[in-house]
Structure 1
Amino acid sequence: MTARRRQRNVALRALIEEAGWTNHSFASAVNRVGAEAGVALHYDRTTVSHWLAGSRPRPPVRGFIAEALSRRLGRPVLVADAGLGDTSAAAPPHPDEDGASALLLLAKADLDPTRQSDLRRQPYQLDWTVMFGPPASRDGSPVPAGHGQLDAIRMMTTAFATAFGLFGGGHARSALTAYLAVDLPTWLYTRTAMRRAVLGEAAVLTHLDGLMCLDSLHHSLAQRYFQVARRLAVEAGDPTAHATVLRSMSAQACFLGHHQYAISMAEHAVAQAGAATSPATRAALLGQAAVAHGAVAHRRAAMSCLHEAEKCLDGAATASANGELADLADHTGRVLTDLGDLAGAETALRDSLRLRPGTGRRSRMLTTHRLAEVQLRRGQLDAACASWQRFLTDYPAVSSARLEAAVAAMRRRLLPYSRNPIVRATLRQVGHNTADLPETEAHQQMWPDGIATARADQDECLASSEAG
C-alpha cells in the first residue's frame, strides 16, 4: 500500500493526545517497553509520524505500542484500539480458567518453536498484576494420585531447582517445561484427597519455570508462568506458595523499574503469607519488600522490613545452611546501596558471599557483581577487578542472559580504565566466550545501567507532556 492510499490513524492520534504525550515522548515509551521484551528499538518522533500517517509496524511492535498506552492511561488498550489491527500474541490467562488447563496451554505453547518465539517477544504487561479470584470448578475423570506421585514431583522440583542454582535459567528449562506439559497433567485432575497437595507442588514447579524465564530475560513468559503458578497456589489453598510467587512478581517488577507495583506486590505477599508461614519464608518476603522500598528511597519502610526479617531468622539453626542468611545479607546490601550507604552495602554483600552455600553459584555470581559495582563506586578499582575476576571464573559454567548482561555492564564500567594493567587483565579474562557479546540497548536497559536510563527517559517523557 502506498503512502497516498494509507488512511491516517485517527485512533492512535487520539490515544496519544489523551496520554498527553509528544511524538518523541511516545516513541521513548515504546522503546522502553520493547527493551523489557529484549528487543532493541530506536524509534523517534519521525517514526511516530509515519504511524499516524497510516504505516503499521511489525506485529511485535504493535503489542509494545498497546502496552505503552495501557500504562500511561491506566486502562487496557488493545492493538485494535490503537488502529493497528489484531495481534497474534497469546492472551493472558482467563480469570475463569482453572490452573491445570492454563498450565497445559502455556507449557505446550512454550514448547512449540513458532509460538515460543511469539511469546518471548511480547511485552511485560502491568495490567496482568491484578489479583485473580478462585477459578471456576472443573469436572473431570478422577485420576488416582498418592504419596508416590507427590514424592516424584518433589524430587523433580529439587533436581530442577538445584540445576537452576548451579547452571542458570538457560540450562534444562525446556526439560522442565516438557515435564509440566507431558508428565504432570496426568495427576492434576485427581479428585482424591491428594488433589490440593498435587496442585501445590505444581505451583512450585511452575513458579520455578517462571524464575528460569526471568533469568533468561524472557519477561512476558516469566509473567505468564507466575500468573499460572499463582492460580495453582490459590486452588491448592497454599498461602505460602501464593506469597512466594507474589514475591517473585515483585522482584520482576522491581528489576524492570516498576517500583510502585513492586512495593504493592511485595506487601501483598507479606500479608498473604500470614502468621503460619515459616520464619525463613517470611524473612524472604520481607527482604523483597525491603528491596522494593529501598529502590525508591523509602528508608524507614525498607529498614523496618530488614529488621523484622532479621528477627525471623534470629536463632534459626538451618538458616545458614539453606542460604536464608545469605539472601538476607544480599537484600541488605541492595537496600543500603540504593540508600547511599556504600560502606555498609559492601560489608553486607561480603557477608552474603561468606554465607552462601556451594549450590547457589548463580546467586553468588549476582552478589559478586553487585559487590564489584559498589567497590567501583567507592573508588576501589583493584578490589572491584578482583571481585569481577572471581565472577568470571564461574561464568563459563552458567547459562544466563541476566549474567551475560552483567558481563556487558562490567565491560562498560571498566573500559574507561583500560590502561590500568589490572583492568586489562580482567577484560582479557572475559575471553572468547563473551568477546563478541552484543551490548544491545535491551541489555543495557536490563542491567544495571538501564534502570537509570529508563528512569531518565520516563522523567523526560513527563517533562515533555507537562511542557505541551
Structure 2
Amino acid sequence: MDLGHHQQAAALTGAARPCYDTASPRERALLGMVHARSLARTGDPKGASRALLRVEDDPGDATRDGDEPSRVWFFGQASLAHETARTLQAMGDLTWVQAAFERSIQRREGSFSRTHAVTLGYLGEIQVARGEMDAACSTWSRALDAMDGVRSGRARATVQTMRSMLSTVRRRGIPAADAVDRRAAEILRG
C-alpha cells in the first residue's frame, strides 16, 4: 500500500479475511487497519468505514502482552491511532484525522522516534489544511526535534513536505514558519 498499490492491498487484505478470526488481537487490528486504509485509498469510503468499525468493535485487546507473535509486537494503541488517522485522511475527514493523530502522538511519545516524527509531520499537514499555520509550525518544530539522529526516507519525505507546504508563506515574515523552514532546510542538507 505504501508503494501505491492500493487495489492489490485491498485484494490481499480481503483475501486474508478467513484468517481474521484465528489471528491474535494485534494481528486482527493490523490486518483490519490495512484493509480499511486500502479501501479508503481505492475510493470505497463505506467499505473503509465498515472496516474501521470492525477494528474498533473487535473484542480482542490489541495492546495486551503475552501470546502475540513477534511479527506484530510494534502494533499497539499508538499504531492503531496512527493507522486510523491515515485511513480517515484518505477519506478526507480532517476533523477526526487530527484527533486520531494527536492520540497516536500522545501514546507514542518517547518511543519509535522515526514514526513519532513522521506522525507529527502528518499532523502538521492536517493543521495547514485546516488553516492552522501557527499550530502546524509548532507541531513541525516538535517533529524536527524528534528527528534528531533519525535517518530514514520517510523522515526525509516528511521534511520535504514541510518545506513544500511552507513555501506558500515563505517570505511573509512569519517568524515561526521561517524558523521551521530554516531547520527543515538544514536537515535536508545534512
Instruction: Output the TM-score relative to the length of structure 1.
Output: 0.36
Question: Which residue pairs with 2:102 in the alignment?
Answer: 350
What is the RMSD computed on CA atoms of the aligned residues? Answer: 2.2
2:44 to 265, 287, 298: 298
Q: 1:290 to 1:422 in 2, by over 3 A?
A: same
Question: Which residue pairs with 1:266 in the alignment?
Answer: 13
What is the rounded CA distance, in whole Å, between the counterparts of 2:2 and 2:133 in structure 1? 26
Alignment of 1:256 onto 2:3:
yes
What is the rounded CA distance, in whole Å, between the counterparts of 1:397 and 1:365 in structure 2? 11
Q: 1:255 to 1:411 in 2, by over 3 A?
A: same
2:177 to 401, 404, 423: 423
Alignment of 1:282 onto 2:34:
no
| Superposed displacement of residue 297, structure 1 | 2.5
| Superposed displacement of residue 316, structure 1 | 5.5
What is the rounded CA distance, in whole Å, between the counterparts of 1:288 and 1:312 in structure 2? 15
Deviations 1:331-355 (A, max 9, x none): 2211211222101110111111112
% identity of equivalent residues: 31
Alignment of 1:389 onto 2:135:
no
The answer on whether the counterparts of 1:322 and 1:357 sit within 8 Å (CA) in structure 2 is no
What is the rounded CA distance, in whole Å, between the counterparts of 1:432 and 1:338 in structure 2? 30
The answer on whether the counterparts of 2:62 and 2:76 sit within 8 Å (CA) in structure 1 is no
- Name the aligned partner's letter for residue 27 of structure 2: T
Alignment of 1:432 onto 2:186:
yes
The answer on whether the counterparts of 1:368 and 1:391 sit within 8 Å (CA) in structure 2 is yes
What is the rounded CA distance, in whole Å, between the counterparts of 2:21 and 2:14 in structure 1? 14
SS at match of 2:22: coil
The answer on whether the counterparts of 2:121 and 2:158 sit within 8 Å (CA) in structure 1 is yes
TM superposition outliers: structure 1 runs of 4+ over 4 Å: 313-317
The answer on whether the counterparts of 1:323 and 1:357 sit within 8 Å (CA) in structure 2 is no
Q: Any unmatched runs of 5+ in structure 1?
A: 1-253, 438-468
Q: 1:409 to 1:301 in 2, by over 3 A?
A: same
| Superposed displacement of residue 424, structure 1 | 0.2
- 1:316-395 superposed matches below 5 A: 318=64, 323-356=75-108, 358-395=110-147
Instruction: Output the TM-score relative to the length of structure 2.
Output: 0.85
Deviations 1:145-203 (A, max 9, x none): xxxxxxxxxxxxxxxxxxxxxxxxxxxxxxxxxxxxxxxxxxxxxxxxxxxxxxxxxxx
| Superposed displacement of residue 257, structure 1 | 2.2
Deviations 1:403-450 (A, max 9, x none): 11211111111012112211001112226342x37xxxxxxxxxxxxx
Point out the more displaced range, 378-387 or 400-409. 400-409
Deviations 1:59-118 (A, max 9, x none): xxxxxxxxxxxxxxxxxxxxxxxxxxxxxxxxxxxxxxxxxxxxxxxxxxxxxxxxxxxx
Q: 1:280 to 1:313 in 2, by over 3 A?
A: farther
The answer on whether the counterparts of 2:101 and 2:119 sit within 8 Å (CA) in structure 1 is yes
The answer on whether the counterparts of 1:366 and 1:403 sit within 8 Å (CA) in structure 2 is yes
2:155 to 403, 420, 429: 403
- Name the aligned partner's letter for residue 427 of structure 1: D
Q: Any unmatched runs of 5+ in structure 2?
A: 66-72
Matched pairs, number: 181
